[in-house]
Structure 1
């Protein structure tokens, strides 16, 4: 009798390896991987995404990758050029300002909520994330620094205990994530000579001060974003 099929009339069919892997689950994993690459600045503005190449890197077939790319196009996270090639969109100045201002509003609200709910363990975990960020930035591992920066912002947002808010913030990061790679292009690092915004956020959380936390994360986004704006095309203004 085939392995895993031994049963009695009253038993359910055994599944020693868990549920079957469906085509839909592979597509979802591909979508999640590409989405994370956008948020973490692994993909740069203007970069072309060829389904076959992406599939080879992920070790899966082309079909779920193609479906994932088109799904992200429909969500305005990716774009199609005149030849139908999928690419990471180039954000113009006006759209970047809009996304930045929405992040200040929404992440600020999340930080204010977090300040009223946060525990000492939560603060310690977020402080450890910031320390990893400083370490990776200091060693010029900028890809890891960008990832830890995302971890800090998302970690703070999760502390608001608002899944809807967190989902909206994630969608903004999908659109804005690729341009964050411009933060490390040989010029001065963000917050050079200033107290880092993350430190001010942590101070606000320790004080359990919602408005201080709102302002701190807003200033963090504003100061970090200012280093990007002069590198973007001034179209749409």
Structure 2
């Protein structure tokens, strides 16, 4: 890896993290010049990082060349939920054909704590939730799925209604139902449990939208 590639990678990670943690909010306008100054790098490696973030849907370039943190609408969020429902239900069914993986066993322990009333800030649950979904994807043997899920989750994170709660018992119980079905080797049951999880997620999103 060249020095320029290293600088570009560092800039990519920094800007992406600022978007995900809310330092840069959806709709914020960003200047290449300011980003370059803050990153301490030249425009060339910065533009490589920006291009990557544009391709991931996290940044958009306006007609005048200004960069904007991409807004994800509720409609787009629900579309992501629907796509993930199809993909992850299939993954859960495939995972049930194999022994329960160590990653899913670890996730089960974490989810049992949430189901028992463990309190956590949204950002912590987001990470634990990602561990669960990636563990299912990896256990399925669908090798392209984990990276696809990461991209869709990154886009979903840009919709503000995903950040409006801090109680996670219901989601944890849904995760546990998927893991239990996978451990039991219940292919149809695991797929159905994952479908119910995403149906519930859609219902929760719509409820939060109706009661801001």
The answer, yes or no, to whether TM exceeds 0.5 is yes
Deviations 1:183-232 (A, max 9, x none): 443x674555x872111112112212122222222222232233324666
Long gaps (5+) in structure 1: 1-19, 233-237
Alignment correspondent of 1:227: 204
Alignment correspondent of 2:9: 28
Q: 2 CA distance for matches of 1:35 and 1:176?
A: 14
Alignment correspondent of 2:84: 103
**RMSD after superposition:** 3.4
Alignment of 1:1-237 (within 5 A): 21-32=2-13, 34-35=15-16, 41-43=20-22, 44-51=25-32, 60-61=40-41, 63=43, 64-119=45-100, 121-131=102-112, 134=114, 138-179=118-159, 182-185=161-164, 189=167, 192=170, 196-229=173-206
Q: 2 CA distance for matches of 1:121 and 1:140?
A: 23
Deviations 1:61-120 (A, max 9, x none): 253344212322134332224553323322223322221110101111121122212335
Calculate the TM-score normalised by the size of structure 2: 0.76
* Count of equivalent residues: 206
Long gaps (5+) in structure 2: none
Q: Is the 8 A contact 2:29 2:69 kept in 1?
A: yes
**DSSP 3-state at the match of 2:27:** coil
Calculate the TM-score normalised by the size of structure 1: 0.69
Higher helix share: 2
